[in-house]
Amino acid sequence: MFQKELNKRTGLLKMQVKEAVTLIKTNEINTTEKSVWADLGCGTGIFTYALGSLLYPGSTLFAIDKKPGVKHSVLANSVLISPIEADFEKYNFQFGKCDGMLMANSLHYVSDKINFINRLKKHMNENALFLIVEYDTDEPVPKWVPFPISFHSLTVMFEKCGYQKVIKLNERKSIYGDANIYSALIRK
């Protein structure tokens, strides 16, 4: 039932919510107490709903995008999804500090990634983590993936930003070209 609800809300575009959950699922996500997360560049919301299904009941997930593909809702596990219409690169987090930030297929739109990540730090709690989903390539595809970042490049970049733990969680073949899609967890 819960999976049907999520799939209906996301419109089943290219990836199913179930596949998105498999890609980002990790024991590092706090499932024992309420938390606050932001999904930067939420798009259609597939990863928003996937992450929402993994969070502890009563958690809040802000879905930030110029045109968020999610509606204000409460999931079956009592996680609040709250869309915010804004450019995630320029947004000035008015809801306090986050326990985690999800960027699923959105970091490749950021040209100055190091300054962007360093700016996000002030909006994150001490032990907050990043969940990143990206194409494992450094070769741009104009318009769609202008500033790609392979897992290797992501690791180097986060280390420059002061993070020591960068773990590849999962990987799957992309329907777009030769590069795989990977998910990574980053924390200090």
Please, which pLDDT band fits residue 96 given cuts at 50, 70 and 90?
A: confident
pLDDT of residue 174: 81
Tens digit of pLDDT for each residue in 129-155? Answer: 999 999 999 999 888 899 999 999 999
Please, which pLDDT band fits residue 34 given cuts at 50, 70 and 90?
A: very high
Which residues are CB-neighbours of 74 under 8 A, at least 6 positions away?
Answer: 80, 81
Please, which pLDDT band fits residue 44 given cuts at 50, 70 and 90?
A: very high
Tens digit of pLDDT for each residue in 48-68? Answer: 999 999 999 999 999 999 999
The strand ranges marked E within 51-123 are: 60-65, 73-74, 80-85, 98-104
Please, which pLDDT band fits residue 14 given cuts at 50, 70 and 90?
A: low
Please, which pLDDT band fits residue 7 given cuts at 50, 70 and 90?
A: very low
* Among 88, 170, 187, residue whose Cα is nearest residue 136: 170
* Among 57, 67, 50, residue whose Cα is nearest residue 9: 50
pTM here? 0.89
Domains of the chain: 2-187 (3.40.50.150)
pLDDT of residue 15: 73
For residue 91, what are its two tokens?
């947004």
Q: Could you count the other beta carbons within 10 Å of the beta carbon of residue 149?
A: 22
- 11 burial (CB, 10 Å; 0-12 / 13-18 / 19+) is exposed
